[in-house]
Structure 1
Amino acid sequence: MPSPEEIDDLLNSTEDDSLNDKYRPHYHFTPPSRWMNDPNGMVFFQGEYHLFYQHHPYGSEWGPMHWGHAVSRDLVVWEHLPVALEPDGNGMIFSGSAVADSRDTSGLFGGDPGLVAIFTHADTYPASGTDAEPEAEERPRQRQSVGFSADRGRTWTMYEGNPVLAEPELTDFRDPKVIWYEPGGHWVMVIAAGDHVRFYTSPNLLAWTFASEFGRTEGSHEGVWECPDLVWLPVVDEDGEDIEDAEDVENADDGERAEEGEGAEREGSWVLIVSIGDGLPEGSKTQYFLGSFDGTAFVSSSAEQLWLDEGRDNYAGVTWSDIPQEDGRTILIGWMSNWRYANVTPTGAWRGAMTIPRVLTLRSTADGLRLCQRPVEELKALRGTGERRQEIAVPGESRHELGFGGCAYEIEAVFEPSGAAEFGFALRRSADDAQETLVGYATAEAELFIDRTRAGESGFSEAFAARHGVRLRPEPDGTIRLRALVDRCSVEVFAGGGVAALTDLIYPDPGSVGLALYAKGGEARVRELSFWPLETRQTD
């Protein structure tokens, strides 16, 4: 294994893979080089957003895991820092979370505030073979450990009592997410345990007591459960404003208004987010549950399967801890890939990107209470000089070229279906019409979809070129409102005020920069359209 100095050199080296290579995003977070997957340890502390991530600093495929590290003051421009946590005698550094121990409950900071990371140490049980079967397969071992920093996350120390939590009967036991539960005055850990999650409590982040479990009979079990998160979210209206004291909100009688702290006098619900490994037909995907939480146990009120994102490339998403109460947002970021093909995407010496940061809320819909995602407002700082169009007729079986486009932009449009069977955007188009990605709406099926079957390079995986979508009801006035954020290798689509979300990687040629409206089976109309190029603000 390389020395810490060699790892840092590799982390900061890009070799021939410069920041201007053809797939490196303009405004999405990527590692300087080598492999990246799950976001880890996101915490806001003393004016900085910390983003840690699963990192293999000397290979572009998954390997011995470290925690890479970056910080930002605006969620847009990131400063890369040296590797924060690296493998030691207890194993590799798998996913986990970080919190600001403002009260020094851990006793690690001499009464001052500091940062505490709670993560999974991963190795194998010793002497797992026998004399009769010396070649027996080693059994993985996953235990929870603590690291801490007293200097704003710049250097980290492993707790001498690691590991702090082990369950030997569980092979899959990882990805702890820790929150402070104000009504009980204690810490809560939710952790993936194979086909369910478990909850533990602690007064000090170091000694943990089992409290409950959830999920053995709920949700999807087509893959191992991973990267859980537990958050309380407010219900908002179509303008994103809080709904207070609403009597008709689902679960309003279950104590879903948060008590004594965050969320006081705001209608809302607890939300449990759980990712599922590569076992679904789509590969990796993230589910969520609505319900109640009393500080020790979660009870679901979800009557059906709910998914965070119906695209193929938003996985392992978790939220930032300790965002100031005056800000009030819950912000999530996900790994923009899929275990079905993550190790073979055509990105050279770097591999892996994050989604844009998204604000999570809840919205009451005709189908019940649903998770709502919206890009953070800070991204608007990237907007260049925009274009605005109104009252555009889009004839059927045609492409209406807009005369602007590019490889990094944001576009919003309000469509009137009129008589069209299908309509939407055709983006990242090539001049010869050989490449394009469709962001469309199928009227009869009431389906919002991304079609990347002609999006560009896809030969690296049979699972990549596909069309997939999500059910989307029209707005009360019959319109469909679409918002898409496009980057060099991705498209993220939001509709229904953020209730519908699709995130996909794409790999078009650099010259495929055309942008058009399209319709099939009749004419569609666009009431209004707004377009902004998103200017590059590279990470430091």
Structure 2
Amino acid sequence: MQSSTKQNDLIEQRSWTPQYHFYKPNHWINDPNGLFFLNGTYHLFFQLNPDDVVWGNMHWGHATSDDLINWQHQPIALYAEPEGLGYIFSGGAIVDKNNTSGFAKNGETPIVATFTQQSKDETQVQSIAYSLDEGKSFTVYDQNPVIPNPGLKDFRDPKVTWYEKGQFWIKTVVAGQCIHIYKSNDLKTWHKLSEFGHKIGAHGGVWECPDLFPLICSDTDTERWVLIISINPGGPNGGSATQYFIGDFDGEKFVSQDEQIRWLDYGTDCYAGITWDNTPNIKHSRTYIAWMSNWQYANNTPDNTWRGAMTLLRTMYLKKAEQSYYLLTPSAVKLPQDTVRLQYCLSKEQPISVPEAYSLECDISLTQGNIALVWKNDCNEQFRLEIDADTQSVTADRTKAGFTDKGFDSVIKMPLSKHECTNLQLEIFVDECSIELFFNNGAHCITALVFPKQAFSQLHIDQSSKKESLENLKITKYTK
């Protein structure tokens, strides 16, 4: 591990400002909150410290976009109430098209935000606020909390979904290492229906940021319910991660299709993600975004001019397997069409010169042995991605990629089936401080932060023999 002096030298040498990932200069941000789409605009709210680049003094920040990649910062949406119910923690938002809340008086469409407030004594309660101007400003409900604390230390992160069959709202709230499910007709008065999570799923840490919603699988035209749960610690490669369940919801209880643990992303830097409300085609797909960090080192990443960024948006589909269903989560973003598109002639002996921010696509076929993509710079640093057919695994190694403090020097492991190794489509997004990898249209994902002293300028291809093939390599350079 590098010494603190070396880490300080690293900080002074470079800034790692993202080029096409969302972040907020001179601020700390974490969990995405209150996501909704209305009249052509995507609204992203998020945990914000307006005074520092480390966690604390939580408000809701706000940004908007019409193309999923360029974001405009907006004024703070919800302010902390340290002398009242408390700081504004995570939650969701819904577009109340039928005015079930009764907040609209003159034909407006209410946006109702649902969030946790934590007081100075760390009591967590569930509150709401509403907007009648499409999210530009919010009024905090004067009868908060709408759900008081039931005597739990961890009771937070409410997310609301409309239950079409019963014509009512359901709300999921984390309660320690399970979730509580509530019902309401008006978003103000809530009644507990059930609990989920006892003796099922990963339980290496506290559960956070639940999101329960229906999806129709295009393969079978069958509706299933998806439950996303973040967990910290307890991820498959250390620290924070996100698991998911697929099953059925009958208006009272959610029942998982099986007891298999499924990870939305095997990387160390995809956490606390939730989905947008009111997006087009929402019955068949959801739009998802997550915080791109890990609580092991989130407060200690080396760029002191900002901390915290979001992953790229992902589209979430159901896919049918032999006996069950699983999620595909490919990137919802393509880099702008006016970028330079470069088709490379692949040569094992010659490294490929790569820009600082780009996307990469390729096809890999392995029947045995391994193949590796290795990003390098002139400081002898590297990030290595290896696919191995013999062990049926993927390894992403950042132990030599620059910054290594606070457990950052990790090796990420992910399983692949033999069949997947023989026919692997890979899409990779590289930014100043991150690499996002999507395997086979998002059937598997790895998200990893990297903080090298210099940008990785070369891509090397290592193959164990001539039986491996990497074809159709295409790089799309990002230009603003």
Instruction: Tell me whether the two structures share a fold, i.e. TM-score over 0.5.
Output: yes
Q: Which amino acid in the other structure matches residue 111 of structure 2?
A: L
CA contact (8 A) 2:240 2:296 kept: yes
Tell me, yes or no, if structure 1 residue 422 matches structure 2 residue 370.
yes
CA contact (8 A) 1:333 1:355 kept: yes
Tell me, yes or no, if structure 1 residue 472 matches structure 2 residue 416.
yes
State the SS of the aligned residue for 1:350. Answer: coil
Counterpart selection for 2:125 from 143, 147, 168: 143
Shift of 1:177: 0.3
CA contact (8 A) 2:159 2:171 kept: yes
Shift of 1:39: 0.4
| Residues paired across the two proteins, number | 463
Question: Could you tell me which residue of structure 1 aligns to residue 6 of structure 2?
Answer: none
The structure with the largest alpha-carbon Rg is 1
Counterpart selection for 1:53 from 2, 23, 46: 46
Distance between the aligned counterparts of 1:230 and 1:202, measured in 2? 15
CA contact (8 A) 1:103 1:112 kept: no
Per-residue CA shift, 1:101-126, capped at 9, x if unaligned?
Answer: 1111111111421211010010145x
CA contact (8 A) 1:474 1:480 kept: no
Counterpart selection for 1:202 from 173, 184, 187: 184
Distance between the aligned counterparts of 1:496 and 1:104, measured in 2? 41
CA contact (8 A) 1:334 1:354 kept: yes
State the SS of the aligned residue for 1:374. Answer: coil
State the SS of the aligned residue for 1:299. Answer: strand
* Residues 445/468 of structure 1: CA separation in 2 closer, same or farther (3 Å cut): same
CA contact (8 A) 2:427 2:437 kept: yes
Per-residue CA shift, 1:66-94, capped at 9, x if unaligned?
Answer: 00100111111111001110112110000
Tell me, yes or no, if structure 1 residue 364 matches structure 2 residue 320.
yes
Distance between the aligned counterparts of 1:307 and 1:510, measured in 2? 32
CA contact (8 A) 1:393 1:524 kept: no
State the SS of the aligned residue for 1:407. Answer: coil
Q: Which amino acid in the other structure matches residue 180 of structure 1?
A: W
Question: Could you tell me which residue of structure 2 aligns to residue 405 of structure 1?
Answer: 354
Tell me, yes or no, if structure 1 residue 312 matches structure 2 residue 268.
yes
Distance between the aligned counterparts of 2:323 and 2:392, measured in 1? 14
So what's the TM-score if we normalise by structure 2? 0.92
Question: Could you tell me which residue of structure 1 aligns to residue 427 of structure 2?
Answer: 483
CA contact (8 A) 1:472 1:496 kept: no
- Within a 5 Å distance, the mapping from 1:99-498 to structure 2 comes to 99-110=94-105, 111-125=107-121, 140-235=122-217, 242-243=218-219, 246=220, 266-280=221-235, 282-325=238-281, 329-365=285-321, 368-376=324-332, 378-381=333-336, 384-389=339-344, 392=346, 394=348, 400-402=350-352, 404-417=353-366, 421-427=369-375, 429-431=376-378, 434-458=380-404, 460-461=405-406, 463-475=407-419, 478-498=422-442
* Residues 160/418 of structure 1: CA separation in 2 closer, same or farther (3 Å cut): closer
Tell me which moved more, 511-520 or 302-311.
511-520
State the SS of the aligned residue for 2:336. Answer: helix
Shift of 1:534: 1.8
So what's the TM-score if we normalise by structure 1? 0.82
Structure 1 unaligned runs (5+)? Answer: 1-20, 126-139, 236-241, 247-265
* Residues 289/327 of structure 1: CA separation in 2 closer, same or farther (3 Å cut): closer
Structure 2 unaligned runs (5+)? Answer: 1-13
State the SS of the aligned residue for 1:105. Answer: coil
Per-residue CA shift, 1:321-343, capped at 9, x if unaligned?
Answer: 11134895311000000000000
Shift of 1:441: 0.2
CA contact (8 A) 2:392 2:421 kept: no
State the SS of the aligned residue for 2:268. Answer: coil
Tell me which moved more, 527-536 or 309-318.
527-536
State the SS of the aligned residue for 2:447. Answer: strand
Shift of 1:511: 4.2
Identity of aligned residues (%): 37
Question: Could you tell me which residue of structure 2 aligns to residue 514 of structure 1?
Answer: 458
